[in-house]
Structures are given as structure tokens and as C-alpha cells.
Amino acid sequence: MEPKDSKTHFGYQVVDTAEKQKKVKHVFDKVASKYDLMNDVMSLGVHHFWKWFTIYSSAIRPNQKILDLAGGSGDLSQLILKKYYPHIEVVLADINANMLAQGRYRLLNSGFCQNLEFVLANAESLPFHDRYFDMTFMAFGLRNVTNQQNALNELYRITKPGGKICILEFSKPNNSLLKTIYDWYSFHVIPKLGKWFADDSASYEYLVESIRMHPDQETLKQMILKAGFDNCQVVNLTGGIVALHIAHRY
């Protein structure tokens, strides 16, 4: 349990730890209806490749039990189900009811009704039994969690021996020129895109700031190992703008 007077970051703001979850909820309540559109606009469509690569690299097998945590509008769940349906069990979980509703609408209207469950869940206190899932995916959700180490500890708890986690998240570019271009685009263009396409620049300013406050590749790897996982592999995508961490529980 966090001390009552503990602090954390909400983007660049320092806030009470107890307030961050409410502030993040407010952001995603506002962006839920435009979330998929803005992902396409902000990444110029590249996020589809990042997610496809994550699924391709995961080596899913039929009849496994999969958790798509902080799965929001269901991009990863849809990719998994398209390939393995109905010979797979998928749980789409998110802390935000509006985002989860977007995912439920998308998946059910795509015809995926078997072996599919929707769960409103906090990544720091997951409502699942120990050693329950063969594999957990978490795409672009970890940086919004208040205590990321707690969430990683929970992922270890619910992962079966022989299972794995795949965490796809924004990270740190490994080229100085790319970093300069990326920073300019993030701070000068993305908020404007948020204003034009979603009538909301403030939420996208937070999203840009939250990326800068997220641990870099090596720091996140060490946090994953601290949670108990083994053999954590890191794959940089788009020059390290995004990184995929894959770790096993033996």
C-alpha cells in the first residue's frame, strides 16, 4: 500500500499517488470514442505494424489462455482472434469502462463471440487466480499505471510456469537525430492533431509527457526481472521509439 502522502507523476505534473488513477481515467474517458482514429493519425498507421509484430513474435499456440491487459479498444485481441479463433481463450481487460466498451463493440461486431471475456480490471490488483494465463499482452498501457512495479508483480503472479508476457510500450529512441525529430513531432504536432481530430489537445499533451516519464528499455527490463520473470528480451521498433519486452516465467 502506498503512503497517504506519496507522490507520482501525471505526465510532467507531480500529483498525489491517489489522484493519478482518477486523472488517467478522465483522459481516457475523453479520448475513448476517438482512440482508434487518433492512433492512426498520430503514428501515421505504424502502430498496426508494432502490434502485428508483437503477435508474430509471441509464438501463441492454439488452446492457450490469453490476457490482453489494458487492451482498450481491442486491437491486439482482434489480431489474436483473427488468427486463432475459436481455438483460443481471450480475456480483454481494461480499467476504463468506456475503453472496454469500445473493445466489446468492436469484437462482438466482428463476430467473435466464443471463448471471449471482457473484464473491468486494475492492473495493480488483477481479479484472476494465480498461474491462470499462458500469456499476457500489454500494449501502450503500462506507462499509465500508477505503480508499474506492482503491475509487473501481478503479471508474474497470474502467469503459468512456462508462460510469458509481452509488453509493447513507447520507449527511448537510440539515435540522437531521430530523438530530435521525434521530440519536435511529439510536442508540436501531436497536441495539434488532438485538437483537430478529437477537439482535445490537453489529453494528448499528457500522453506525450507520459511517454517521456516512462522507464527506458533497460530500466523496464530490470523491473520485469525484479518481478520474477526470466530471459527478458528487448526488441526496439522504429529506432527505439517503441520497444517490445518479452519475458518468461519458468
> What CATH number should be reported for the domain holding residue 59?
3.40.50.150
Domain that holds residue 212: 7-174+206-248
What are the beta bridge partners of residue 237? 242
What are the beta bridge partners of residue 172? none
Would you say residue 180 lies in a domain? no
Would you say residue 181 lies in a domain? no
Question: Is pLDDT of 85 > 80?
Answer: yes
Give the pLDDT mean for 51-62: 96
Would you say residue 242 lies in a domain? yes
Give the pLDDT mean for 121-135: 98
Question: Is pLDDT of 4 > 60?
Answer: no
Would you say residue 179 lies in a domain? no
Which amino acid is present at 119? V
What are the beta bridge partners of residue 124? none
Q: Which residue has the higher pLDDT, 14 or 179?
A: 179
Would you say residue 89 lies in a domain? yes
Give the model's pLDDT for residue 33: 85
Cα angle 34, 104, 243 (rounded to 5 degrees) comes to 65
Would you say residue 155 lies in a domain? yes
Would you say residue 29 lies in a domain? yes
Give the pLDDT mean for 120-139: 98
Task: Give every CB contact of residue 203 below 8 A, 6+ residues apart in sequence.
Answer: 27, 30, 31, 194
Would you say residue 187 lies in a domain? no
Number of domains making up the chain: 1
